[in-house]
Amino acid sequence: MDKKLEQFRNSLNWHAVSESEKQRYMEIERMILDTEKLPVSQLIARAKKIKPLVRLGRDEDLEYQPKYGDFLATDTLCFCTPCDIRNRSYLYDFNPQKIVKQKGRLMAVPSFHEVGQFTCYHDTGAFYGFLMPSIDEVLQQIPSEIDWLQVDAFELQFPSLDFFEVYDCILDRHVSTVHLYRFDKGLPAKLKGQDVIFEGNRY
């Protein structure tokens, strides 16, 4: 058994969960560890094809603010500028400078339809009180039954910004729902040419 998986199994003894729950957690942890073995070349290929979307709402000053749940028809979706898909969360310190623009304005997200969704598990980083999801986690964990070549973008949805509601203390991870989208006319040209940054290198 993988050393990390063995360590996780031993850690389950410290939690008051049933044997069936332990088995479920073992399956989730095994899945996570397996997805982390995705070759870098395949990860880069997915990152070139599938782009993260950020949902924006308006605050009382009519300024755009990122949203993580409570999807509304009045929300605005945007593309974000490249960041390191592994070493940096694209959402944690999101700000207006990270919005992709066209002719000085927020670049519109073209019409799309949802092609699937799945539960995703995110490393908590240095502190579980901060939501710091990274792009590589999402791309790695796309279920095998979903053809990633048919996906153009993804969006994360958390049920709450209260970390008590999104943090799984047994896995030591935050939990989200990932929505996978396909654009009706394909990925916009500006996004096709966007760099992918991986561990400081551009592809």
What is the pTM assigned to this prediction? 0.92
What SS3 state is found at 150?
A: helix
Gap between the terminal Cα atoms of the chain? 35
Q: What is the pLDDT of residue 94?
A: 86
pLDDT tens, residue order, the chain (203 aa) = 589 999 999 999 889 889 999 999 999 999 999 999 999 999 999 999 999 999 988 765 556 777 777 788 888 999 999 999 998 888 888 888 899 999 888 999 999 999 999 999 999 877 778 888 999 999 999 999 999 999 999 999 998 777 778 999 999 999 999 999 999 999 999 999 899 999 999 99
Q: What is the pLDDT of residue 60?
A: 56
The 10 Å Cβ neighbour count of residue 162 is 9
User: What does residue 8 show for φ and ψ, rounded to 5 degrees?
Assistant: -65, -40
Q: What is the pLDDT of residue 70?
A: 77
* DSSP labels, 37-90: T--HHHHHHHHHH-EEEEEEEE-TT--EEEE-S---TT-EEEEB---BTTTS-T
Domain ranges of the chain: 38-202
Q: What is the pLDDT of residue 198?
A: 96
Which tokens in the block code for residue 39?
A: 């070759």
Q: What is the pLDDT of residue 62?
A: 52
Q: What is the pLDDT of residue 82?
A: 94
Which tokens in the block code for residue 37?
A: 């073995």
